[in-house]
Amino acid sequence: MVEEDGCAWCERWKKEIGPIYPKSAEGKRAPLRHIDISDPVPGDIKPARGFHFTPTFVVLMDGVEKGRIEGYPGEDFFWGLLSQILASIDQKAASNSN
């Protein structure tokens, strides 16, 4: 999760999703790591492009970006898009194993 101080949408996510996220199947599969948008990108992360919005949720596999959600307009939006990203990763993995 790329965030910044004073981000109202980041705070809303933390209030609505934050407490349940680590307990969810998605949270266990894609654990959350908080990164401040003004800090340098950690060396173990390879984003597809820079970060310009907060919050931005980046799904990584072996440190490489596989999908992202920019913004947080609500709980349904977040869970739906996260499910799509994870399903896409599963589909690609299945097609590569055939």
**Distances in Å between the alpha carbon of 93 and those of 25, 27, 80, 88, 97?**
18, 19, 20, 9, 6
Token output for 47: 């984003």
pLDDT in the model for residue 98: 60
pLDDT in tens, 62-85: 999 999 999 998 999 999 999 999
pLDDT in the model for residue 91: 86
Parts of the chain with a pLDDT under 70: 97-98
Every domain of the chain and the residues it spans: 2-97
pLDDT in the model for residue 19: 97
Model pTM score: 0.91
Nearest-angstrom CA–CA distance, 76 and 55: 16
pLDDT in the model for residue 23: 97
Q: Which fold has domain 2-97?
A: Glutaredoxin (3.40.30)
**Distances in Å between the alpha carbon of 18 and those of 1, 12, 40, 45?**
11, 9, 24, 22
